[in-house]
Structures are given as structure tokens and as C-alpha cells.
Structure 1
Amino acid sequence: MDEQQHAAGMPKNQAKERSLRNTSVAKKVLAGTLGLSLLQVPLLASADTASGTSVVKDSVVSASQDSGSTASKGLNPADAKITKAQAESRVKDLFPVLKEARLDGVTYGEQNVSPPNTKKVWVQNWTIQKGNHSTGFSTEVDAITGDILNYYYPYSYPFDDSNTAYYPPAVSEQEAQKIAEAFIPKAAPSIKAGTMKPSNQNLYLSNKALFGPVQYSFSYTIDVNGIPADNESVSLDVDGNGNIVRFNRNTNQGDYPAAKATISKEDAEKRLEQGLSVTLAYIPSTSLYDTSANREWKIGYVPDRTLEPMDANSGKRIDTIFGKDLDGPSQAVSYTALKASGKLFTPNKGGQLTSDEVLQRLQGIAPGSDYQIQSNLGNYWGGTGKQAWSLNWNKRTAGIYRDDSKYAYVDADTGQLLSYHEFQYPDAEPAKATAPSVTEAQAQAKAIELVLAHYPNAAEALKLSDAKTLNTATKTVYQFVFQRFYKDLPVNGMTVNVSIDGSGKLVNYNADTSLSDKDIKALDNLTAKVDPKDAQQRLLDDLSVELRYISSGGYTVDNTYVEPKVRLAYVPTLNGDRNVGYIDGVTGKTEASSLLPVSNKDKSAALPSDAANHAASKDLATLLEYRVLSPGEDGLLHPEAELTLGDWIQMMAKGVYPDQGYYGGQYQPIFTDVPADSPISGAVQLFLDKGWLKDEKSSELHPEQKLTREAVATSLTTALHYNRLSKFFQQDAQALSLSDANAIQDKGAVALMLKLGLMDAAGGKFDPAKPVTKAEAATIMVRLAHLQSKVDTPLNQRY
């Protein structure tokens, strides 16, 4: 049975602004840790409260839209050094496109954050109106420095695509970088000259797609007192026409500690490496959080303990979630096997569960009758074809507007609990610390009981880690991590996280990142060839530390707000990279982790040898650059390989979403020969949603059939929505004059392809039944990319 991750789905480019904001929390926790710290992914790593994450970044509380009102407690607009009018003038001068927008209101202080903070910013709320359509968005300006903090013009405007930059772009990436670096000092004057460095730490860079719109992403870190700082960065997008379409400035308005460290770098490295060993583990080489991708696996060696940052003056390890000191040296993580006892999870074997049947399975977790429940049956994220129940309980107390809520997500077929989360609006004043009524041992027993009752084969698949986090800032919350194992090896990044509060109540349960049958098959084929001692030596050789300012807090963990804090610390690095890394168990090389998405700029586009001298080498190189094609396991591209219909569908889909990050539709097995777990299911769904399949009534797609030239002509005619026009061209003189016209069934489509210049008829012959090679398809697709700005229905058009 497949176990799948879920999340609220949307196309990547639509989710970008939210992703950039939400990911920053996970990055703060993940960036300074290595190895087993990511075997147990912190509860911060998810981005959606409904999916069970214990971090609350955004609240549903709306700030007042009245001009000049305060959205955060304790803020006074009179303290601003940049006036409201000056802030408005700055954004309009820097982003002329805002002249098309209507300013609806200005707020002093960040909106929609809970608890209210004291960040001194002007938040401007805009609306764009186009006929009966409108959209709202906001910009932010630092009220002290005048820096633009956030700007992202809605990508769906203007509706007519008149300003959209399609391939080939008017400006190159090198030209766009010059534009970006010239713009940054204007938008963020507080950045001192010489303190900005290029960075690849922005995990959600724009997807450069062949079928556009063309955008380039750039990210930079900013040094403070000559030292890198986690809280200081700037990132922006420049489109293919040279316009700034997104700008984000991350900065700390508070004071920074002195830059002087009393502990030397050499001493910090010795403390980090003391007693350090390695553990063999299964490691995903593609992001765990992008289930639309075909997940790939490696076997490798990771550090046997969490490698936390170290305070550069006290020498104490730092908890990256709460920002507090950790006593004593770091210890190797150990695991305790679970003993099957009590109530064990039994998967449903009948039909799909009803909401009432799901509630029966949640007895002991679901709240009482003082909560109103809403349930919704929907598709899993990632196009698996499976469904899950979303349950939302809201407490309604007379006279209280903001009361607590609880969420659960349950597999509709098996009844497995995927996640549970309790959300309470943080009080204006910090809650008073209260003594727990249950001990840690009692809370642990409760956590084990819950896991056994709600996770399939928990006693075989999971082990309890001793790497626990206890939050006692305002109330006691015990947090437990259950590590997923397969064949006695931990699976990197796959855990069940459980939080129990001091009263013994479940606060958070998250188990939605799991192994599929395909994953297990891949793991079975992995065997380590590198000796553990050699891997350990490589780890020690490549391990180092970097002095920098690190930040924590500014978010809520298990309904407890963590105060922001900046510290001077030594941060572990592996081969100079702060990302969690490992030693490849086959090659022995140091590798960066891919638990989170990586920058597109890290992906090589070198043309393989078998394509370098091919007649279509330029077109093949373009498709490689835009990630439509990739070399095979042998490192070659095989340009003369004949394509199947499935290959073509996959290539065209990658022309729109090169990383197959398409979340717009959830694939249901419409075609009997394209199951939900097919590698082309996401691409087929995109074709269905866009109306790119001419005959959707057939029960079979036959993706394995050879792709012919006539099939390509028909496919492109449908994709461009010229179906009716092609009927008009059925008797076109050019098509009828072809020497093999009698062999062509869809003469209108062929005529259109010839007129548009997408395909040729060499020697007056079209060869409709001739199979299409990879090289020929590359040439056609590049021609189509050139045509994007000239057709009425661009392939990436919103729908």
C-alpha cells in the first residue's frame, strides 16, 4: 500500500509568495544542523497548519485597513522615520506598474501575524481592477530605513499577456543580474556597499520554463559587522523583459551582538568533531516535500548526532528551534524499539470510510460536543488518485471571537491518521507557566500508544528517538520523534512527530511523509560500498564551522510563541555548505541534502557527448537548459531515440512545469493504462486540465505507442486551441499538394503546423506515419517556444 504525503495543492508560481515566507522558518531551523538532525525533521518543516505542523506563521486575524492604523500592539506611527506618504512614494517610483493599482489602505505594523509583533513597517494594500476581475496584494516598506521589504506583483496580471516575457527573452540572465544588482541599492538603501554576497540559499527560486514566462531569480546574503547574518538577505526576480517582478528583503530591526568571539574557530571545530562517528541511512536525493517529482534515493553515511550551532562566547550548544542553550556535549542519537501492545492500527478493508467512521477511529483524540465539526473529502496532494478526510473542529464560546480550533487529516481508504494539530490564538500577554500534571515518562507512554494505534505496523517500522525537545517557556510541552526505519536503517527525513502537553493532551501529530511501494523497491536495490571508517574520515575532513549571526524565534511552536533572538555562533558546515549533508555510500563523495527543494541554478546543463555534434544540438541544449530533457543513467541524451506518446506528453508538460511541480489538478485514473502512480500521471493531468487531449472519452490513452509526425501535428493544434481552425484548413491547398496527402487524416492540423513553421515537409512530403525522434521533438518545441508571444493562447496561459 502506498503511503503518501499531502498538502494544500496549487501551482508553484501561484504559491511562491507564501512559500518564500513560510520556508524561512524551516530554513532557520535546518540551516545550522547536519546529519541525524534531519533524520528527525523538526516540526517546523511543514508549511500548512491543517497538515499538522506545530509552527504557526500566519494568523487569520485581519488587521485594520484604515489608513495609518496600527496592526501590532505597542506600535506608534509617530516613531517612524519614513512617513506613510514617503513609503507610498518610494514603491510607486520603484515599481511604476503600481500606477495601475488602487491603494486601498495603509497599516503601520505587519498584518495577519499572531501574536502581534513590534516590527516597524508600512504595509500598503493594493487592488488591481480589470473589468469585472480584481485581485488584492500588499507591499511592505521598512518604516525606519525606507527599505522595500516585500513586493510581488500578481503574476496573472495583465490578463492580455501584453507584458509577459516569453522565450527567447529580451535580456539574458547575465544582463538580468546587472539589472538586479543595480536595483537593490535603490530599493534597500540600508545595505552597505561591499556587504552583499550572491547566495543559493533561496530554496524557492523561480522555475525557468521553456514556455515561459521567463524569469530570473537572484538571492544575496548581507554581512553585518563583517559577519554573515541569517536575518539579513535580499532576493528578487527579473523577468525576460528586464522588469523587477518580485523583491523581498529580510532584515532584523533589533540590535546585533558584538562581532567578537572569545572561542577560536579551531577550538569550535575540535568540540564539534569530538567523538563524532557516522550512521548508515537511506537518503532521498530529491526533495521529500515535492511528491510530484519521482523521488530518488541514495544510501549514505550521516553524522551520528545532531550538530547544533555553538555560542561563540559561552561554547554552549544552541537549540535552533527555541534559541536556548543546551547543556553538556552532543551525544549520539539512540533509538528504542516499540513493543506492540494495546490497541494497534488496523487498516480499513471495506469501501471508502465515511466521516462518521473516521470519527470512530479518532475516539480519544476528537474533541467533545462543545466543538462544531466540518468535514471534507478531497484528493491527496501530488495526484496520487487517493482521497483523505479533512476534519476541522471549531470551538464556539459566547462572547469570544477567536477560539481554538483542531484539525485532523485521515486517509479515506485505510483510516490512517496522517496529521492532527491543535491551534489556539496566542494571548496578548504571555501565559503564566504552569506545573505539568503528567511526567515525561507518562507523556512518552501516551505518545507511543497513539503511534501504535494510528500508524501502520508501527512496532516494525518505527523506533523512538531519544532526541526530544522540551518546551517550558510558558507551559510544558513534551515532543517525541519516532524515526522511520527500513531493514534496520533509518530513512532520512521520515518521522512521526508527536507533542503532548503538560496535561497529557495531544497537541500535534504528524506522520504524512511516508514510503511508497516504489520507494521501497528503490531502497531494496541500494547497497553501501564505502567502508564506515573511510566515510567517517571523509566527514571529519570536510566538516568545519562558520562564524555568523544566527536567529531563532518569531514563530509559534505548539501554541507557544518563541521570542526572536539573534546570537553570534559557530555554525557547522560540510564541505562549506550549511545544508545537511552526507557521505555517499557508493561514491564516498560529500553530498548536500535534498530534503528541501534546491535552487535551479545548482542543476547542470552540460550537453552530453552524443548530442554535442548532432544537427539539433542547439535545440537539444535548450531543452536541457530548461530541464525538459535530462541525460539517462549512462550520461547520454540519445537524440535519435524514437519517442512514445507518453514521452511527448511528459516533455510538453515539462515545458510548462520543468520540475513537474504541477499541483493544479489531482489525477484520477481516467485512463486504465495510466494508473495514479504512473510517472506520467501528473503530465496527463496537466493535458486534461488544459484541454490538450483531443479525445478524452476513450478509456485508454496508449502512452506506449510510437509518436508519429501526424500525432505531433494534431497534439500541437489541440494545445494551441486551433481545433476549429484546423477543420477550416482540411481542404488547404498546401496540405493537399503534398505528395503523401492521401496518407494524412488530419490535413487541417498538418496545414497549420506548416503555416506556423513548427514542422516542415521536406521535398513536398510530410511523412505522417514516421516516428518522431527526441531531436526532432526538441526542434519542434523550441520553435513553439519562439511562437509563444505570437499566438492567441500561450501554452502557459492561466485557466
Structure 2
Amino acid sequence: MMNERPNPGRFKGRLAILSVLSLSLLPLTAHANEIRVGINATAASASGFTSSSGSDSSASMEAKPVKAEAKITKDEAVAIVKNLFPKLKLKDAQAVRVELGDNHSYPPQYQNVWTISWQVTSGNSSHGFDSKVDSMTGDLLQTHLYFPMDESNEAYYPPKVSKEEALELAKAFIQKASPTLSLNSLKPMDQSRYSNQALFGPVQYDFSFTALVHGIASPGGHISVSINGNGEITGYNRNVVTADYPSPDPAIASDEAAKKFEPVRDLSLQYVPVYQPFSRDKSWFLGWVQPFHADLSIDAQTDEFLNYTGAVVQPEHFQYKDVQKTNKSFTVTTGNGDNQLLTEEQAIELVERMVSIPDNRTRSMHSLDTYWGDQNKKVWNISWREDAPTGPYGGHTNAVVDARTGQILEFREDRMVPPWMNPKPDIAKTPNAAITQKEAEEKALALINELYPNASEELKWFSSDPYAPPGGDEQTFGFRFQRFFKGIPVGGDTVSMVLNSQGQLSGYHSVRSDRIEEAAGSLKANTTKAQAAAVFLEGTSQELQYKSFGGYYTESQYVEPRIKLVYQQTYKDSTKNGYVIDAANGQWRATFLDHTSPGEGPGEMPVDITGHWAQKDLETMLRYSILAADSNGQLHPDKAITLGDWLLMLSQAVNPHYTNSYSYNNRDSKPEFEDVSEQSPYYAAAQFFIQSKWLDPKKTPQLRPDEALTKEKLAVLLTQMIKYNKLAAQLQQNPQLNFEDSERITEKGAVWLITRLGLLDGSVPEFNPRGEVTKAQAATVLMRLVHLQGKLDQRIAM
């Protein structure tokens, strides 16, 4: 039963080791403001509601995909899509396959849908995309137009329609595409953190809405609409929710819920990590943070706390306990390999000595890699595979070992079977565990002392786990540990451990930040708990929501989705997601580094650009977060910039998320310029320029980012961005420059090209190749480059 209280410490089903960052750091970071949607999210069509009361109010609400007899024919479905997109050459697309139902998602989703596969042919090439139309109502559910061979409809800056005009177009399209929906039942979503538009590339607006059911936000009720800069719809997503909604009338009032939330709003000090670009390092600050379980919901009907699975939990049971020291403790293993790293034999021996590998599994793979969670750490990844699997998928055992110390960072024993192929467990036949809860606790404490450095001094453990997953086919024991430094929790530094019914380790995941003493040792709190609590209460509230539980797979079963009416803690300002209160000054502070973070926009324009000859271009730079005023509210437009400054400006203009996009694809990369280290503020931009082939460290090993940017150097960089550097080299001998100081120009071909294109002024008597470029001049050149898009034979900055 979903509302049975779990036996503390014990739960059924194998635990998928969850990211400790998402569960242990900041409750209102990972789970807050539950009504949210990304660009690819889908929207919902709400069914009716079932009045209910008591703790079993949602017990029968299950998503049951049913394929009913279609009321819309497949030909009508094809015509609906074509009529909705008449201007974007959909008339040239052929519907090559139309099928009833959606057979491409697990678990199966809403099935009363025509799935249309389109194909567009041009010469010997072709491409395709899909559409979905509700077979009962004729409402459009999905289409993303894709015409890679046609650039005629691309809209560059400045767009023909503004963002405000595009929003009205999106609303009008929703009414046309989904006439069964009312605009009054939709609420626009705040996407300020993720909707930063680049200056370069085709302009596109993305809008998201959440559906209101009985005036309350629906958990799956999302619609997303994409519109290009010409005002044409290019994408549409909507999802149909088949679960029933409970009554919108709560049994407890909002002020009662607020009082009940008080214990989980009990702020305490925590060392909070701020993650640097590329996940290569992190800084720390001391913050006032809620308890780790503060993302719990309150059932608005039963007045009970619910965890993420919908199970009833009791926060008063979530208490830290000391880790008692045992006879055996972790010791560092000295490596016998290169640079004193562990050899593969040492790493394998450590794992096989500490944990039990099933007899029918043989070592199948091992490799020395950079650790995904710490780019400065080398680890051994080791796998054991089942010798004679009973089906197409065999069992696996995996371990990750720190190659420097011998610490086991991760361990997992599982079956490599798609979860939807697992039979539904028979709870009645679940065998009892061979050990008791107390015996499991003793085993876990003994293991943590052996696996984790200084466990008894650094760790405390939770007496109950609010993140215990729902039932499965085997009784297991779950434990969670938190690291402390100077009596204060270290954010993100946690350990998850699972013992099987025999008391053997079946799952383990640990995070322990290095050099915490250096990073956090001197941090102090200058604000009191009461002051922080006042700021927190002013910025947060509890909101009545419909919240979805289930609808996903564990290792052993599919958890049926159901919807409950709950109170959820939310930020009044949704852009504060990911923020906590800095104990140094009592202000909200982000826990991430992102040039496009909300709340960091220009606000009022700097006073020193008013009336400036480049005011318009400078204002554009500020609106797109390419430039920012200093702490005194000034921009200093006539100050010379460095080469590094220009790299930062261009990178931000081309891709506002360039720091994040690089990190996931190149975690093993090393600095390529001799004078730009990973700690350099220009590192990310330099790597971005290298990836874009605008700079080549093989030709110029040193970047010299701190040197002033000259006009001649700027001309060379511009030719590389527009892919005219080879042409510039051909023009080097006879460029026909008319400047009085032409003999002082070294890169004559580049200067001739860039002045002919109007990016730099070619009408002045002297070019002044060694003249330093100011912030205002750089902004103007950048905007001239933006306006040049679509006028050359190749794309710019792409």
C-alpha cells in the first residue's frame, strides 16, 4: 500500500543508486517548484476528477493505455497537420507511414493517437520527422518541422517578430491546434534560465505552458511551442494524461500546511559547493540550508508527508546518528603502477576482497579513466559478467576504484535486463531477509568503516531513508550517510549503501570532496539563523498542486502513475531555483556558475552609456548578457579590451551556454594553449574557439589573452570566424589598400576583406593596425557581424 509507513531502514526492491547531488544537497534546488518544464517537455489533456477522501484516495488511479476505435481517420489526421503548417513547405512532405497508437515509448503512453512519419525528398537526399494527432479529438499532439536542406525560412537577428508578439502567436496556434483546450486553462511557464537566445544563428522562441485542472497546475500538463524569428510555428508538443485527478478541495487549509512545514524549514549551516565550468573544480561557501528531506510533499487530503514515490514518511524519524568506529578501517593502498597509481590487479583484488562477487560472474572489462564526478581523479572501472545468462541479458557487477588511494567509490550488482521485461514481483511471495534490521545496521557500520576514510570521524548516518524506492521482489536494507566538517554538513558529500537480504553489499555510491579543509576551513557565518529564516520565509511559500507519483521503472517493476493533491514548498520567484542563503551576507546565492543565470541581467542600463555614440549596440550587449556593468553600475565603454575579453564576448554571443556544452563532451581534454590553464577565466572560451576552428594552438601555441586587442588582430579573428582566412591569404600580396598607413599593416588580406565587408571602417584615412579596440568598438563590430548573417555563402559562427 502506498500509504503504509515503511519499516525504518528496510525497504523492498533493489535500490537504483541515485545521484547523491540530487538527493542530499539542496532540497529546493533539485525538487523545488515542482511545476516546471524544459523545451522538450510535453503538455496534458486533463480527464475528469474522482472525488475521494482518506488515505486511499488515489489507490486506484493507474495510467492504463487504451487504444479505442478512432473517431478521426488517418487521412483526416494527415490533413490536419498539413493545414496547420501551410507556409513551411509541409506540402512537399509525404506521409510514408501512418499508424494508430504510440509504440515507441516505454512504458506505453497514451495510445489514442495517429503517429505520422513524414519524408521530404530533395534529389537523391531525404529526411524525415514525425507528427502525432489525437485519434479521438483531432487535436495536434506533436510536430517538429525539420528541413535541413532549406535555409530560405531561417530568420536571423533582428527578428521580424518580437518575443511578446511571438507569445501571442503561440497562444493563437494552441487554440487552433488543440481546440479542445481553453487558453484560460493554461499558465505560461517561466523559462528565463533556459531561454537565453544567442545573437548568432536562426532566431527561435520557445514557450511552455502548464495545464490547469480545476484551477490547479497539472503535473504532466505541459505544452511547448517553438516559433522562428519570422513568426512561423516550427514545433509543438502536447501530452495526454490518462490518470484521474482527485478532488481539488483540500481537507487541510494552507495555513495548516504552512505550520506542518515548519520542521522541514529548520535552516542549518552547510558547506555549499559551487560547481565550476566543466565540472573540473568547485568552490565553497557557507550557507543556511534546509534539511535534506525538505522536498517532501504534504498530502492535502490526509495531512501526511509524502516522499518522491508517494509513500508516507515521518520527518521526525530522520535523525543523524554517530558512526561508531569498528575494528577494521579504511587504509590507503600505495599503487605499484605509473605515478604510484594502482595497477589493475591491485584494484581488482581490493574489490574482490571487500565484496562478494557471484560465483557465476567472470571479470569482463577494466579500464583506467577520468572519473565522471571529479575530472582531477583517475579511477579503475571494473566489470564482472554472468558466464551463462538465462536470457539475452546477463547479470553484471560493476565497481569504480580510486586509482590513487584504493577507495571504492561505486559498486553495483544488477541484472542487465530492460525493466519493462521484468515480471511484476509477487509481494506475497517475497522471502524474509536472512538477517534482522539490527544485524543489517551492524553490517553497514562495519562496511562503511572499511570503505570510507575516517568514517567514524567524518560521517553520520540517517536512521530512516525518505528516498526508499517502492516494493520489489527482494527485501533489502538501505542506508544513507552524510559527511561533516567541523560539525557542519558538507553539501553533496554523501554515501548510499544497500545490503541484500543476506547482508551482502549490493549497491554503494560515495562522494567525498578533496581538500575541503583548504576550501572551507576559514568560512564564517555573519548572519544568524533567525535572520536567514526571515529571508527564506519571505522568498518561499507552500502551493497547492497536483503531483504525479510513479510512471517509471525500478529494477524490478513498473510503478503505476497516480496523481495526488499536495502542498509543495516553492520559491515565490521561480528564478531562484538553485539558490540558498549565503551565511556571509544573508543574500540569496546561486549554487552554480552560469553566465546566463537569472537575476544577473542588466536591470537599469549603465549611466555612462547614455548618449554614447555606440549606445544602441552596447544596450544589445547588456540585454544578451555579453557585457555587464561593474559593481558601481558603470560599463566603461571607451576602455580598451583584451584578446581574452573578445573571446568571452563572442563565445557568449554565439552560444550562451558554451561553458556547459563543452563540459560534457570533452571531460578528458587538457589545455591546448601553453598560457591558458584550466583555472584561467578564458579557458572555456579558448576551448570553444578551438572547437569552432577559429583558433589553432598548433600554429600559435601561446594565446596571450591578457594583451590588448588590436584592430589588425581583430581583422584576422573576424576572417577566421566567417571562414575567409584562406581567401585572405590569397589576397595578401595585392590587397589594394588605400590607407595612408598601409605599409604598417602586416595582415593586408584580412584587413582588405573585413573593411570591404563593412565590419571595420575602411573610409578612414589611417587604419591604425596597432590601435587598441575599445569595448564600444567591439560591440559595434560584433553587431555588424550579426547583421551580416544570411548575406554570405556560408553561415557565420556556426
TM range (shorter): 0.7 to 0.9
Spell out, residue by residue over 1:463-487, the C-alpha distance to the aligned partner (whole angstroms, 9 max, x if none).
4344513335223344433334444
1:163 maps to which of 153, 166, 178: 153
Spell out, residue by residue over 1:516-570, the C-alpha distance to the aligned partner (whole angstroms, 9 max, x if none).
77x9866566432211122234444555322221111111245443221101112
1:323 maps to which of 301, 310, 326: 310
Match of 1:425 in 2: 418
- Highest Rg: 1 or 2? 2
Match of 1:197 in 2: 187
**What secondary structure sits across from 1:764 in the alignment?**
coil
Q: Distance in 2 between matches of 1:133 and 1:509?
A: 50
Q: Which amino acid aligns with 1:334?
A: Y
Tell whether 2:229 aligns with 1:227.
no
* Ranges in structure 1 where 5+ consecutive residues have no aligned partner: 1-25, 45-72
**What secondary structure sits across from 2:754 in the alignment?**
helix
Tell whether 2:553 aligns with 1:588.
no
Q: Pick closer, same or farther for the CA change 1:106–1:442 going to 2, 3 Å.
A: farther
Return the offset for 1:194: 0.9
Spell out, residue by residue over 1:580-605, the C-alpha distance to the aligned partner (whole angstroms, 9 max, x if none).
7643424434x486579998665523
Q: Is the 8 A contact 1:620 1:778 kept in 2?
A: yes
Q: Is the 8 A contact 1:717 1:726 kept in 2?
A: yes
Q: Pick closer, same or farther for the CA change 1:653–1:454 going to 2, 3 Å.
A: farther
**What secondary structure sits across from 1:776 in the alignment?**
helix
Match of 1:753 in 2: 754
Q: Pick closer, same or farther for the CA change 1:505–1:768 going to 2, 3 Å.
A: farther
Match of 2:683 in 1: 681
Q: Pick closer, same or farther for the CA change 1:742–1:392 going to 2, 3 Å.
A: farther
1:700 maps to which of 699, 702, 715: 702
Return the offset for 1:330: 4.4
1:179-258 to 2 correspondence within 5 Å? 179-200=169-190, 205-258=194-247
Match of 1:639 in 2: 637
Q: Is the 8 A contact 2:735 2:748 kept in 1?
A: no
Tell whether 2:331 aligns with 1:334.
no
Q: Pick closer, same or farther for the CA change 1:617–1:119 going to 2, 3 Å.
A: same
Match of 1:556 in 2: 553
Q: Pick closer, same or farther for the CA change 1:383–1:467 going to 2, 3 Å.
A: closer
**What secondary structure sits across from 2:764 in the alignment?**
helix
Return the offset for 1:135: 5.8
Q: Is the 8 A contact 1:40 1:495 kept in 2?
A: no
Q: Distance in 1 between matches of 2:377 and 2:202?
A: 32
Q: Greater CA deviation, 679-688 or 571-580?
A: 571-580
Q: Which amino acid aligns with 1:670?
A: E
Q: Distance in 2 between matches of 1:74 and 1:784?
A: 54
Match of 2:47 in 1: none
Q: Is the 8 A contact 2:320 2:460 kept in 1?
A: no
Q: Greater CA deviation, 560-569 or 365-374?
A: 365-374
CA RMSD, aligned part only? 4.2
**What secondary structure sits across from 1:661 in the alignment?**
helix
Tell whether 2:604 aligns with 1:616.
no
Match of 2:482 in 1: 483
Q: Distance in 1 between matches of 2:701 and 2:735?
A: 36
Q: Distance in 1 between matches of 2:76 and 2:385?
A: 42
Q: Greater CA deviation, 108-117 or 224-233?
A: 108-117
Match of 2:40 in 1: none
Q: Pick closer, same or farther for the CA change 1:506–1:111 going to 2, 3 Å.
A: farther
Return the offset for 1:195: 1.3
Match of 1:66 in 2: none
Spell out, residue by residue over 1:54-92, the C-alpha distance to the aligned partner (whole angstroms, 9 max, x if none).
xxxxxxxxxxxxxxxxxxx98564444445444444334
Q: Greater CA deviation, 635-644 or 74-83?
A: 74-83
Spell out, residue by residue over 1:246-275, the C-alpha distance to the aligned partner (whole angstroms, 9 max, x if none).
323244212111111121122222222258
Q: Is the 8 A contact 2:462 2:480 kept in 1?
A: yes
1:203-602 to 2 correspondence within 5 Å? 205-273=194-262, 276-284=265-273, 291=278, 298-304=285-291, 306-307=293-294, 308-319=296-307, 321-326=308-313, 328=314, 330=316, 333-334=319-320, 336-337=322-323, 339=325, 342=328, 344=330, 346=332, 350-351=337-338, 358-363=347-352, 364=355, 370=361, 373-374=364-365, 395=386, 397=388, 400-405=391-396, 419-420=410-411, 422=414, 423-426=416-419, 427=421, 429-433=423-427, 434=430, 435-444=432-441, 462-466=459-463, 468=465, 469-475=467-473, 476-504=475-503, 506-511=505-510, 515=513, 523=520, 526-540=523-537, 542-575=539-572, 577=574, 579=577, 582-589=580-587, 591=588
Q: Is the 8 A contact 2:98 2:114 kept in 1?
A: yes
Q: Is the 8 A contact 1:498 1:510 kept in 2?
A: yes
Match of 2:5 in 1: none
Return the offset for 1:34: 11
TM-score, normalising length: structure 1: 0.79
**What secondary structure sits across from 2:210 in the alignment?**
strand
**What secondary structure sits across from 2:494 in the alignment?**
strand
Return the offset for 1:690: 2.0
Q: Which amino acid aligns with 2:425?
A: A
Q: Distance in 2 between matches of 1:325 and 1:253?
A: 24
Return the offset for 1:671: 2.4
Q: Is the 8 A contact 1:582 1:593 kept in 2?
A: yes
Q: Greater CA deviation, 122-131 or 766-775?
A: 122-131
Spell out, residue by residue over 1:318-377, the C-alpha distance to the aligned partner (whole angstroms, 9 max, x if none).
11x211222x46466535457486352637765366766654454337666646735566
Q: Distance in 1 between matches of 2:764 and 2:30?
A: 63
Percentage of pairs with the same residue: 34
**What secondary structure sits across from 2:790 in the alignment?**
helix
How many residues are matched? Answer: 730
Q: Is the 8 A contact 2:160 2:230 kept in 1?
A: yes
Q: Pick closer, same or farther for the CA change 1:493–1:314 going to 2, 3 Å.
A: same
Q: Is the 8 A contact 1:233 1:251 kept in 2?
A: no
Q: Is the 8 A contact 1:470 1:477 kept in 2?
A: no
Match of 1:779 in 2: 780
Q: Distance in 2 between matches of 1:97 and 1:334?
A: 63
Q: Distance in 1 between matches of 2:493 and 2:123?
A: 48
* Ranges in structure 2 where 5+ consecutive residues have no aligned partner: 1-17, 35-62
Return the offset for 1:196: 1.1
Q: Pick closer, same or farther for the CA change 1:454–1:34 going to 2, 3 Å.
A: closer
Q: Distance in 2 between matches of 1:485 and 1:416?
A: 19
Q: Pick closer, same or farther for the CA change 1:268–1:776 going to 2, 3 Å.
A: same
Q: Distance in 1 between matches of 2:632 and 2:269?
A: 27
Q: Pick closer, same or farther for the CA change 1:282–1:507 going to 2, 3 Å.
A: same
Q: Is the 8 A contact 2:157 2:787 kept in 1?
A: yes
Q: Pick closer, same or farther for the CA change 1:588–1:348 going to 2, 3 Å.
A: same
Q: Which amino acid aligns with 2:548?
A: S
Match of 2:712 in 1: 710
Q: Pick closer, same or farther for the CA change 1:403–1:384 going to 2, 3 Å.
A: closer
Q: Pick closer, same or farther for the CA change 1:337–1:727 going to 2, 3 Å.
A: same
Q: Distance in 2 between matches of 1:474 and 1:466?
A: 22
TM-score, normalising length: structure 2: 0.79
Match of 1:50 in 2: none
Q: Distance in 2 between matches of 1:562 and 1:481?
A: 23
Q: Which amino acid aligns with 1:678?
A: S
Q: Distance in 2 between matches of 1:532 and 1:190?
A: 50
Q: Distance in 2 between matches of 1:273 and 1:627?
A: 38
Q: Is the 8 A contact 1:471 1:477 kept in 2?
A: no
Match of 1:151 in 2: 143
Q: Which amino acid aligns with 2:80?
A: R
